[in-house]
Amino acid sequence: MASITRTTQASRARRRAAIRHELLGAVERCLESTTFTELSVERLVREAGIARSTFYVYFEDKGDLLAALVEDVIDALIEAAGHWWRLAPDAEKADLREAMEQIADTYRTHRVVMAAAVEASAYDERIAEQVASLVDRAVAAVAVHIRDGQGAGSVDRSLDPRQTAVWLTWMTERGLFQLVSPADAEQTDRLLQAMTDIVWNVLYAPTR
């Protein structure tokens, strides 16, 4: 009986993931012309090509769907940010720039979902908690990177790891949302170079 239950649960999880993937594409297409607040479940399911009843089998409402999508995006952003946090003590500025590009590319890929999350977080506690969770996880990881770098002699030892991480994380998150997300390729290149310069000069330049 336990084996049958696990198989059923696994099948449901796979089906939910497939439905979520279809709805992600639908959300991104729809939000090019409307806000998440104005987006109806009816339009979503029509765009995704699924039945309304199917939607409600897996999600309570569109807020529940957005929460699931934001969870996926957060995981993708944390993975991308790991390219920065795992930089070796002898990494060069070009390595940092490459890591920043990984983060920006991931954010831009999911910019529509993140914009919806920022919009919905103003009135949906679930989404607000997820956005806060993203920032908290990033702050913690950046702080560890700073402490490790200070120990290895590659990061300025005069910095407060936690407070520096808070500022750098919020700067990056707001910069990606407000500046990089709507920018064209040329503007993005300049913005990423400026972000790289700031992080490099704050953390690494004093030790070089």
Q: What is the pLDDT of residue 3?
A: 62
pLDDT score at 72: 85
- Least confident interval from 125-139, 161-175, 180-194: 125-139
Give the pLDDT confidence of 108-160 residue by residue, as tens digits. 988 888 888 888 888 888 889 888 888 899 999 999 999 999 999 999 999 99
pLDDT at 162 (0 to 100): 97
Per-residue confidence (pLDDT) for residue 187, from 0 to 100:
95
**Confidence grade of residue 7 (pLDDT, cut at 50, 70, 90):** low
Residue 14: exposure state from Cβ atoms within 10 A (0-12, 13-18, ≥19): exposed
pLDDT of residue 90: 93
Q: What per-residue confidence (pLDDT) applies to 19?
A: 85
Residue 85's pLDDT is 92
Q: What is the pLDDT of residue 68?
A: 86
pLDDT tens figures, 28-87 = 889 888 888 899 999 999 999 999 999 998 889 988 889 888 888 888 999 999 999 999
Domain assignments of the chain as residue spans, ordered by start: 1-59, 61-207
**What is the structure's pLDDT at 5?**
64
Distance CA 87, CA 81 (A): 10
Task: Name, in order, each residue with C-beta under 8 angstroms of 54's C-beta and a sequence gap of 6 or more.
Answer: 19, 45
Rounded to the nearest 5 degrees, what angle is found at the Cα of 37, between the Cα atoms of 32 and 39? 55
78 burial class (0-12, 13-18, 19+ CB within 10 angstroms)?
middle
Q: Name residues whose C-beta falls within 8 Å of residue 143's C-beta, 6 or more positions apart in sequence.
A: 161, 162, 164, 165
Identity (one letter) of the amino acid at 179?
Answer: L
**What CATH superfamily classification does 1-59 receive?**
Homeodomain-like (1.10.10.60)
Identify the pLDDT of residue 201. Answer: 97
The whole-model pTM stands at 0.81
- pLDDT at position 130: 85
At 8-37, the pLDDT tens digits run 667 777 877 788 888 888 988 898 888 888
Above 70 in pLDDT, residue 1? Answer: no
CATH class of 61-207: mainly alpha
